[in-house]
Chains A and B, each alone.
Chain A
């Protein structure tokens, strides 16, 4: 088992390197050098750039030197937490990301929890009661969830909030808690806001997950071991939950891999509409303004998340499925 995990981790390393190279190419794509962009930006803001400053930046990013040197200068900052500068915000990229990554992860995890805790039982029940009214109703509701664009649902929920509860549900905090230190009240306030993006982003993926769970269950229910379990005298609940669902959920685990980055980028639109302090809207912003170090770092982060997600999936899968573990 430990062997398996170590092997998996080692395999992730070349992938990460490949991704960093691609990301660097993307950073270099826009015409003009960072320096020019930087100076232009500074002048636009009415500031002067001293010769010393120009030299320092040249030195830091290896400008004027071969591309591979620039790449190494860029990548060698990573271990120190130096991801370059956001020229637009005039701030280190690391600072911007640090401000947002916490909420992004929180929101993603909350969404995963929300979708799974609904999709799994609904999928199981739909399969056990295949073609029942319940099955049809939830299939229908699930597809409505897919069909309604996220931003529309977000607007709708905000409208409901204002209209019927007199509450502004946008953002993650109410005005009075913005910029305040953490307190119990702030936490509760956050929960009051958090459910909106969770529902908005979660419903989009729900139908797909219900279908996967339902299909897996139907496949498994046909198998001979189910008869064996029943013939033992086990109650139907134990047969379904302990024997069938236990196996049907395995492929589900492997969806974590593409789910993590999907949640961040998938939440972009909702994030913009709801004004959330997450990474999705920031990425879009950075790309629009060609703030390439920021955009590149976020992309790098998303790709790494995919790899980490896949890694987690594989390890979880090995834990839940002995057949994989022993291969």
Chain B
């Protein structure tokens, strides 16, 4: 792959120190994202998807949450490589990355915008902060962005408050704000979960159009595999804070290796598919009381003796496909040194 690397996450461990014990929200996660591609991130609720993205934005809630030593998040979008884990969350350097180089769209379009400021002023705030332009110029940019995300009558909408917009329009405004400074990397944390299906489709189209235009790398978090099929180039499957499988979107859908990925796939309805829907049995274990060996073993239909003894390493099936499961060792996957 000749594509330019934008972000590299290595050995990322984000732990919460709570009264109940240490919650390993993100536990030794490795991945990379390249310019212009969309990495889909899937997994059941609580498996650490949002915490991974918050770690990248350096917005892990303090003081309970903490990145463990050895974690590394490298941003390649600037001339010099920046290790985000070495920056203090409130430092100038970190803040000049946030919203400027990398932006984030959140799940709740209803509450993600400040209710007492117009959408225009919220976009202008970001633009002025990072681009050092005058109020008038920033307003022009804001109107242009609002137009780009397909909100009708942008000159009028720019002065409206979030509550005057529908959910879909608000999410468009959110996208306009996130993209207003041309970030090279965009995290979308379940941006369409709260929207109905037609609006969702529109927003996904919009994001793809804008991605084509700006060549943005997108990390798209969702638990909806249909959405993944729609938008992602590569897919990362997470379970209990760990990445269990990474592959191209085709590989994930047609050649899934990890029993958890297979479970997720067979629990969604597919058009023209006559197989019965089989939800994954059992529930996600409590992150403070994880089982020995493979964390998925208690729910896994293929669990073997070794699974209950030793955590499987990550095996590379091919250049683009890696799986964290003992079954892949038998299939001849080569062990990844990490």
Contacts and interface: CB of A to CB of B under 8 A. Distances in A.
B164 A232 contact: no
B218 to A, nearest CB: 15
B111 interface: yes
B197 interface: no
A229 B130 contact: no
Interface in B86-107: 90, 95-100, 103-104, 106-107
Nearest to A246: B116
A91 interface: no
Contact of A224 (B57, B95, B112, B126): B112
Sorting the interface of chain B by its residue count into under 10, 10 to 19, 20 to 34 or 35 or more gives 20 to 34
Sorting the interface of chain A by its residue count into under 10, 10 to 19, 20 to 34 or 35 or more gives 20 to 34
A231 B114 contact: no
B116 A247 contact: yes
Q: Which of A228, A230, A235, A246 has the most CB of B within 10 A?
A: A228
Contacts of B129: 232-234
B161 A232 contact: no
Nearest to A237: B90
A316 interface: no
Contact of B99 (A223, A231, A320): A231
Contacts, number: 73
B59 A227 contact: yes
A243 B112 CA distance: 12
Contacts of B113: 225, 228
A326 B115 CA distance: 12
Contacts of A321: 116
B329 interface: no
B140 interface: no
A322 interface: yes
B99 A323 contact: no
Q: Which of B57, B97, B103, B111 has the most CB of A within 10 A?
A: B111
Given A227-B59, A323-B161, A233 B96 contact: yes
Contacts of A243: 114
Q: Which of B57, B96, B103, B112 has the most CB of A within 10 A?
A: B112
Contacts of B253: none
Contacts of A228: 104, 106, 112-114, 174, 177
A234 B125 contact: yes
Contact of A247 (B115, B125, B163): B115
Nearest to A325: B161
Contact of A231 (B90, B98, B116, B164): B98
A236 interface: yes
A233 B132 CA distance: 14
B23 to A, nearest CB: 19
A230 B90 CA distance: 9
Interface in A232-279: 232-236, 243, 246-247
Contact of B59 (A224, A231, A320): A231
Interface of A: 223-225, 227-236, 243, 246-247, 320-323, 326
11 contacts: A224-B111, A225-B112, A227-B106, A228-B114, A228-B177, A232-B126, A233-B100, A235-B90, A322-B163, A323-B163, A326-B164
Interface of B: 57, 59, 90, 95-100, 103-104, 106-108, 111-116, 125-126, 129-130, 161, 163-164, 174, 177
Given A234-B125, A234-B129, 6 more contacts: A231-B59, A233-B129, A234-B95, A235-B90, A235-B95, A322-B115
